[in-house]
């Protein structure tokens, strides 16, 4: 039995609120249950030094948690003077995930930075970030298309979404919340495209090692969950920008 009473293959309530920022070219407040992440996509007419004058663009991400997004207040990274290893790891993952569905040449020599700031955390902040970042990126590209800068469907090749699965109390479950995450024996994050391709898989044994059979069980859950998330993304961008 899961602490939340959910069935093993049941995700939390997922919602996307678009256009939550007056300033950003694209933005989305994504909620996976009590995990809330504000994603903003910012367009800049410059690329990192190693890409200059190559005609290619760049998509990158930054991740942060508000100090009291968590049960105990965490030290503010700006005051600590550096981003921790977990933060750097997550923002590199978000960036790679988004770039997997973007044609950087079609984007042209510009950079889009997607900031994922966790307003409230209850497990799964990185998967919610990736899933919401795609919406913010979509809206940023749409903003560009409206200004005849790009063709949206040439730049954005597919959807990308992510979900965590894990072995909790001996059972494979999807979309772990904080209580489950802290006690899971195995924890895996899956990033997949709309067409079902795998972009990234990260599985970690928290306690005993896991088997290939268990991994496949988690992947089956993830596939179904990500298909749902992609359907919700489609429905969201088909609707009005609010």
Residue pair 230/130 in contact (Cβ under 8 Å)? The answer is no
Q: Interaction with its own copies in 119-178: which residues (CB under 8 A)? A: 119-120, 122
Task: By CB under 8 A, tell whether 15 contacts its own copies.
Answer: no
Which one of 9, 77, 181, 217 is in contact with its own copies (CB under 8 A)?
A: 77
Q: How far does CA 119 lie from the centroid of its chain?
A: 14
Q: Write the binding mask 82 to 111 for its own copies: x where contact by CB under 8 A, - elsewhere.
A: xxxxxxxx-xx---x---x-----------
Rule CB under 8 A: choose which of 3, 54, 55, 197 binds its own copies: 197
Shortest CA distance to 111 belongs to which of 156, 152, 56? 56
Q: Taking contact as CB under 8 A, which single stretch among the options 9-17, 50-58, 166-174, 214-222 is the one that binds its own copies? A: 214-222
Place of tokens 């359907």: 231
CA dist 132 and 213 (Å) reads 30
Decide: helix, strand or coil at residue 241.
coil
Pick from 11, 14, 18, 24: which binds its own copies (CB under 8 A)? 24
What's the CA gap between 127 and 32, in Å, rounded? 9
- d(CA 20, CA 66) in angstroms, rounded, equals 18
Annotation-wise, does 124 bind a ligand? Answer: yes
Q: How far apart are CA 135 and CA 27, in angstroms?
A: 7
In whole angstroms, the minimum distance from the beta carbon of 200 to its own copies comes to 5
Note whether 22 and 106 are within 8 A (CB): no
> Binder to its own copies among 149, 152, 179, 205 (CB under 8 A)?
205
Tell me whether residue 108 or residue 203 sits nearer to its own copies (CB atom).
203
Name the 3-class secondary structure at 78: helix
Of the candidate spans 3-11, 45-53, 163-171, 194-202, the one that interacts with its own copies by CB under 8 A turns out to be: 194-202
Residue 236 tokens read as 């969201």
Smallest separation (angstroms) from its own copies to the CB of 197: 2
Q: Is 6 annotated as a binding residue?
A: no
Cβ atoms of 151 and 106 within 8 Å: the answer is: yes
- Binding site members: 86, 124-126
- Binding region for its own copies (CB under 8 A): 21-24, 27, 34, 38, 40, 42, 44, 62, 64, 66-71, 73, 76-89, 91-92, 96, 100, 113, 115, 117, 119-120, 122, 188, 192-193, 195-205, 208-212, 215-216, 219
């Amino acid at each position: 039995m899961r602490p939340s009473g959910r069935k093993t293959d049941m995700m939390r309530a997922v919602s996307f609120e678009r256009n939550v920022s007056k300033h950003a070219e694209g933005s989305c407040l994504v909620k996976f249950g009590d995990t809330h992440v504000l994603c903003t996509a910012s367009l800049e007419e410059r690329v990192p030094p190693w890409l200059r004058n190559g005609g290619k663009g760049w998509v990158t991400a930054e991740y942060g948690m508000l100090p009291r997004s968590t049960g105990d207040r965490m030290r503010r990274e700006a005051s600590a003077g550096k981003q921790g290893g977990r933060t750097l790891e997550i923002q590199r993952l978000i960036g790679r995930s988004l770039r997997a569905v973007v044609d950087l040449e079609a984007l042209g020599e510009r950079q889009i930075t997607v900031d994922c700031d966790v307003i409230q955390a209850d497990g799964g902040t990185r998967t919610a970030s990736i899933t919401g970042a795609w919406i913010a990126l979509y809206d940023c590209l749409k903003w560009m298309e409206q200004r005849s800068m790009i063709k949206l469907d040439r730049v954005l090749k597919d959807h990308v979404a992510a979900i965590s699965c894990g072995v909790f109390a001996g059972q494979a479950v999807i979309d772990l919340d904080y209580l489950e995450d802290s006690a899971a024996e195995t924890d895996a994050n899956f990033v997949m495209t709309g067409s079902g391709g795998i972009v990234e898989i990260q599985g970690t044994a928290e306690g005993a090692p896991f088997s290939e059979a268990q991994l496949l069980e988690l992947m089956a859950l993830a596939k179904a969950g990500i298909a749902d998330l992609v359907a919700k993304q489609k429905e969201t961008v088909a609707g009005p920008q609010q």
